[in-house]
């Protein structure tokens, strides 16, 4: 996956002081300077680590064809499937599956199936 520019601004989703979820409170129009104050949640997609956001975009660009994702990202079929599982897990699309087991996440990290950032996100969101 392509790396974002080191100078790109990043959307943070957790408070740097207490660790709680951040929200969006102001929207503003760049054309007429209208400002709207509200309480909005940060969409789930933007809570994914940047590398998983890029993975989802590639997956969509490839119209869900795993073989095309493999070729574009240079990763194996099982890795594509594991990343899809991870994205679903982080987005809360678990169906009837139980929460992620901490030991399993660490094993996946050790085998190189997920990145440190992905493991950290998984452990924050859904561990037992």
pTM higher than 0.85: no
- 22 is a domain residue: no
- 108 is a domain residue: yes
- The CA dihedral of 46, 49, 50, 53, to the nearest 10 degrees, is -60
Number of domains in the chain: 1
- 103 is a domain residue: yes
One digit per residue, pLDDT tens: the chain, 128 residues? 455 555 567 778 888 898 888 889 999 999 999 999 999 888 888 888 888 999 999 999 999 998 999 999 999 888 898 899 889 888 887 665 556 677 878 888 888 877 888 788 777 765 44
- 61 is a domain residue: yes
- Could you tell me which residues come within 8 angstroms of residue 84 by beta carbon, excluding any fewer than 6 positions away? 59
| CB-count exposure of residue 7 (10 Å: 0-12, 13-18, 19+) | exposed
- 118 is a domain residue: yes
The domain in which residue 105 lies consists of: 44-126
């Amino acid at each position: 996956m392509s790396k974002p520019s080191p100078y790109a601004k990043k959307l943070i989703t957790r408070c740097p002081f207490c660790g709680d979820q951040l929200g969006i409170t102001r929207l503003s129009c760049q054309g007429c300077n209208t400002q709207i104050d509200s309480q909005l949640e940060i969409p789930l997609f933007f809570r994914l680590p940047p590398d998983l956001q890029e993975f989802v975009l590639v997956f969509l660009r490839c119209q869900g064809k795993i073989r095309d994702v493999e070729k574009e990202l240079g990763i194996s079929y099982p890795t594509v499937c594991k990343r899809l599982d991870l994205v679903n897990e982080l987005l809360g699309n678990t169906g009837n599956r139980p929460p992620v087991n901490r030991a399993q996440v660490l094993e996946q990290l050790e085998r190189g199936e997920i990145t440190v950032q992905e493991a950290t996100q998984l452990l924050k969101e859904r561990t037992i």
